[in-house]
Amino acid sequence: MNFDLNVSERKEIWNFLLEELENYYAHTHERQVAPELNTQGIRKHAQKYSFEQVVPSIQALQHVLEGLEQYAVHTPHPSYFGLFNPRANFPSILADLISATYNPQMAAWSHSPFAAEVETYLLQEFGRRFGFPQDSIDGVFTSGGAEANLTALISALNQQFPDYAQTGLRGLAGQPLLYCTTETHHSIVKAARTTGLGMAAVRSIPVNQQQQMRMDKLEEQLIKDTAEGHQPFLLVVTAGATGTGAIDDLPRAANLARKYNLWLHVDAAYGGAAVLEPGLAPLLSGIEAADSITFDAHKWLSVPMAAGMFLTRHRHILDRSFRTLADYMPKEAGQLEIVDPFTHSLQWSRRFIGLKVYLSLLFFGWEGYSQVIRHQTEMGNLLKKQLKNSGWKLYNYTDFPIACFTDPAYEKNADFAAEINRQVVQSGKAWISIYQTGEVQALRACITNYATTEKEVTDLVELLNQCRKNWQK
């Protein structure tokens, strides 16, 4: 079996696929944003072919492309106002193709030194942008924010409890506790469960009307837990909450973390990109005091999923947390001052994640990203303005391009938001979601796409107004 195929076959496939992908990329806006969720039809398409027989190459590709065309929410569409799933910029798509073709082995530095040093360079540059001291920056690319948050929890345990790596949780004198809020990403709770800390280790602190952690309530809880003999070790705050875009009081969080000897982790998976735009960067004042930061390039930096980062100001904590010796690993660089990535991360074998960020920066630079973030923020401001002018009420307070809203006449009627959301999605003209803000079931629209313009924003508000009229009939 020739897995390479031959040259003529490859050229035919390349030509066909590139033309099809270019057509999709250039004309995404002409598609319906969301498909009909026909479970039977979707499964029938996925199971169309038996693997007992070979499918001709072009036919196989057509089958896959048809499946993605018909049965996917088209997140690259400029009228997708949903989760943090952006349209991928073109050089980042090329980067994934290059990475898949070269398929560098990223566990050992000596097998792919260029790739390893590219990622180190990027982590240093982003750490510097977040305000970490240059000589203390360390980090690792991750599969996404969930892995980065898990890495933060493990790093905090190893920093706060020096014997943790050897004795585990059973060796600790008291119950370790971490602190977050209801607005904190659920991956933190999952990380607590995964590491064996359990749900009992998670303290959920109330939020104020701006969806920010109540720092007074945090301190009350810390005093209580300490008095009861527990061991507080980690404070997780958010810079750009998934639902509302809220940013916790970072300077005050840093002060409390120092006062009570807590590892301060800032989940800036989405909002961290604000440091690249001078007009937004002041919103993240205080993030430089964090012990670690989660940042996802596959959100506001518009690269394909997944491209997460864990950044820290503690130069040796990743080594202490993850160093493992394996006799079979390559040793060509044994006498060099390098770091083998597999000793520095939860992961072992993985993709060259950083290339999509590196190539994007080579094409567009920091200024290119600043312009894109500024444009999306302007579109978010336009969306909020048009919603208010049309009688909708906003229920979140953020400078980021996220709007949580409903008609104030129906704010106590959860069925209203659900019905409006259903109508919008089923129209195929746009995609929005629902998010609970306080006691209000709100609609949520977020500018995730650098190609979203005033037209798509205006069309969405007109669609929402029409759906509201349909509800009132």
What residues does each domain of the chain span? 105-351, 361-472
For residue 409, give Cα distances in angstroms to 153, 414, 420, 437, 468: 43, 12, 14, 16, 11
- Report the C-alpha gap between 417 and 410 in whole angstroms: 8
- Report the C-alpha gap between 331 and 110 in whole angstroms: 8
Strands 292-296 and 308-312: what pairing? Answer: antiparallel
Query: What CATH number has the domain spanning 105-351?
Result: 3.40.640.10
What does the pLDDT average to over 103-120?
A: 88
pLDDT at position 338 over 70: no
pTM of the predicted model, to two decimals? 0.94
Residues 6 or more apart in contact with residue 319 via CB below 8 angstroms: 339, 343, 344
Residues 6 or more apart in contact with residue 108 via CB below 8 angstroms: 329, 330, 333, 340, 341, 342
Q: What percent of the chain has pLDDT over 90?
A: 82
Q: Which segment of 79-93, 185-199, 406-420 scores lowest on mean pLDDT? A: 185-199
Task: Give me the chain's average pLDDT, please.
Answer: 93
Residue in 406, 462, 387 with CA at minimum distance from that of residue 429: 462
Q: How confident is the model at residue 206 (pLDDT cuts 50, 70, 90)?
A: very high
Burial track 359-372 (b if 16+ CB lie within 10 A, e otherwise):
bbbeebeeeebbeb
pLDDT of the residue at 337: 67
59 alpha-carbon distance from chain centroid: 34
Q: Which segment of 166-170, 321-325, 369-373, 406-410 scores lowest on mean pLDDT? A: 321-325
Cis peptide before 306 (omega within 30 of 0): yes
pLDDT at position 186 over 90: no
State which CATH number among 3.40.50.300, 3.90.1150.170, 3.40.140.10, 3.40.50.620 fits the domain covering 361-472.
3.90.1150.170
Rounded to the nearest 5 percent, the helix, strand and coil shares of the chain are: 50, 15, 35
pLDDT at position 275 over 60: yes
